[in-house]
Structure formats: C-alpha cells, structure tokens
Amino acid sequence: MVGPETHIDGPGAVELLKGLVRINSVNPSLVEGAPGEVEIAEYIAEYMRGIGLETRVEEVERGRPNVVGLLKGMGGGHTLMLNGHMDTVGIDYMEIDPLDPVVRDGRLYGRGAIDMKGGLAAILAAAKAVVDSGVPLRGDLVVAAVCDEEYASIGTERLVEEVRADAAVVGEPTGLGVLVAHKGFAWIDIETRGVAAHGSMPEKGVDAIAKMGKVLVGIEELQEAVLQRRKHSLVGSPSIHASTIQGGRELSTYPDHCKLQVERRMIPGEDASDVDAEMKALLASLKEADQKFDGSYWITFVRDPMEVSPDEEICRTLRQSALDVTGTEPSFVGGGGWMDTQILWAHGTPAVAFGPVGEGPHAAVEYVEVDSVIEAARILELVATRFCGTAP
C-alpha cells in the first residue's frame, strides 16, 4: 500500500456505504410523504456508538434529526468537524434501483452514492480508524450527520448554534479536490402592475405583461453586458435568469398583473446588497423611460457565496494529507452549487468540501467510485490526527 500507515477498514467502509444507500432518506420537504432521516440517523448513531463516540441524536424538527458524535480529545489541540448530510433528493425518476447498492466496475450505484452517502461513509470510516489506531487525539473530533441539506439546511443551521469547531470538512463530492469557494444565490420576485380594460380600449388599458417584457430584456442585458464579464478564478461568472412567469386574466382583457421569478447566482465578493442595487437600478431606469411602467421587486431568499483562503490551516493539512496518501497534489477547486460549508464559514469556522469521485448527483443514474471513498477516508483519517494533534 502507498502512503502512511492507515487504520481504515476498506471492506467495512464499503459495507457501511451500502447500508447507508439501502436506507431511503429522501428529503420530505422536497418530496411529499418521503421518509426523511429518522431511520438513517438511527443507523449512523448505532455505528457511532459502536466505535465509542459520545453520540446524540437530536430532533431539529419533528422527524428531522441530526446525529452528532464526539471523540473527546485530551486537551490542547484544535477541534475538527467532519460534516455530511444524510438526506437525498427524490428517487422516482431513477433509471437504476435507487436503494439496492450494486457495485459494477468499481462503481457503487444508488441514490445518494455520490451526494453524499459516499462522503458520509468516508467520514465515519475515518473516525473509526482514528479510534482503532489507539492513539489519542489532543483536540476534539466532531462527526456530524445532518438533515435537510437538500432543502433548507435546518440541520447545519442548528448544528452551528451548538457546536464550535476550529475548522470543518464537509464530505460533498469534489473528486478528491479541495473545494475552497462556491457560488451563492438570491431569489427575486418581480411584479408589474397594469390597468385591466376591455381589449378594444388601448387608451384605457395598460399591459402588465408587456411591461414585464421590458424587465426581461433588462435582465438579459444585465446578464450579457455586466455579469458574464465578471469572473472569479475558481467559480467563474455570476449570472441571472428568469425562472417562472405568470400573468393575464383572459384573451379579451388587458392584463393588470404579471409576476416574474428570477434567480441570481453570486460569486465570492458579491452579496444581496449588489443584487438589490441591480434590481433597483433596472426598475428605476424602466420607470424613467416609461411613465406607465409600475413595478416592484422583493428578494425572497438569499444564500451567500463562500471563499476560504488556501492558506488556512485546514487547507494546508488537507493538501499535505492528500499528497501523502495519493502521491499527487490535490487541486483547489470552486463549485457552482451552494453548500452547507457556507453556514459553517459564516459562523467563523473555516470550512471546505472534500469528498470522493463519482457522477450523477440528483440525476437518473448516480454512482461513486468505491476506491475514491476509501482514499477519502484515508485522507480524512490523516487530517483528523494532524489537525487535532496527537498526544505524545
């Protein structure tokens, strides 16, 4: 075997992963009537207790538990959190058996295999290896299996109120790269108001849908002339697009109302105040050019982007550990999708994502490469001992 000594039990980690995939943990906020995390939380809690972690299952909301395992250190070291979400997106549209983990050509197939039961298995296997090594840590190791990441992240939101860590690694799929930045997003409702009137009376009617057309043109200009020209080295450009539109009453009547929903993806350095300023300027310019334009907007939901310096201790430790295990320098990468890392980071904990190789998160076919789960586990085992420190 290449690299430093390890106590990772490879076959045990694969069995654990299969056990996780077999349990349906579809998020009930996404799919009505889905089972959620109760059963998988019990399975994980049992595993944590089995390896000797101080384990607690906590209901964040009814039927929506977190599981937090603590390996108490001897003191004098840093606290590291390993974090993974237990929930998955829906399974109805899958082209493989979502709950029967089949391994073929080194790939384990099933819902959640890559997003992110593979990462969760790696985290748990790493914690077990640390215990099995018999070498006590100085700092605390916190292993958090959280609920609801795929919807509103109530799990990690609760976790940060209760647990402080000096750094966190979230086991989302990164192809064994170290993810140090990702985009955020804002959802915006825009409304235009017109005047309802008989379709034969253009002097009375004001067409709210046509007015919204001007907003749409403005959004396209913003996208092409401004946002696409900004660039972040790891996550690329910010963007804005229309998502849904409703308006009008009937064929023979001027529409008095139109509603547009828009999504704006933000890069590190941007926040909701930038989005607010863009919307304000757009609607003001439309009003200035057209006295009959009457529109307003509301930013309804915001998740900020995140960026952690590659010089943070957790980044340096991960880089060195990955290099020692695999023989190659891992890349520092950025991601488009928002993650729980941002919640931890916003609470003052440097957080990165690091996880296995695979394809098909949220897709009809999903798999994780089994060897990469074991590699991730070996790397996280090293990260835990190095970041928390070991007693002499």
Rule CB under 5 A: which of 167-186 touch Zn ion? Answer: 172
Tokens encoding 248: 């009008």
The least CB distance from residue 171 to Zn ion, in Å, is 9
381 by DSSP, 3-state: which? helix
Residues with Cβ within 8 Å of 203's Cβ and at least 6 positions away in sequence, in order, are none
Give the residues across from 260 on adjacent strands.
190, 245
Binding part of the chain for Zn ion, among 107-115, 136-144, 225-233, 342-350 by CB under 5 A, reads 107-115
Please give the span between the terminal C-alpha atoms of the chain, in angstroms, as a whole number.
26
Min CB(118)–Zn ion separation in Å: 10
Q: How far apart are CA 351 and CA 144, in angstroms?
A: 13
Of 350 and 355, CB closest to Zn ion? 355
Span 108-147, contacts to Zn ion by CB under 5 A: 115-116
Cα gap 207→222, rounded to integer Å: 23
User: Which one, 14 or 146, has the nearer CB to Zn ion?
Assistant: 146
CB of 188 to Zn ion, least distance (A): 25
| DSSP structural state of residue 217 | H
Between 70 and 363, whose beta carbon lies closer to Zn ion? Answer: 363
Beta carbon of residue 364, minimum distance to Zn ion (angstroms, whole number):
17
Minimum CB distance to Zn ion, residue 148 (Å): 11
Q: At what angle do helices 370-388 and 313-326 cross, to 10 degrees?
A: 130
Report phi then psi at 371, rounded to 5: -60, -35
Shortest spacing between CB 71 and Zn ion, in angstroms: 24
Q: Do residues 163 and 41 touch, judged by C-beta distance below 8 A?
A: no
Judged by CB under 5 A, the number of residues near Zn ion is 3
Nearer to Zn ion, 115 or 148 (CB): 115
Q: Is the peptide bond before 116 cis (omega within 30 degrees of 0)?
A: yes
Point out which residues bind Zn ion (CB under 5 A): 115-116, 172
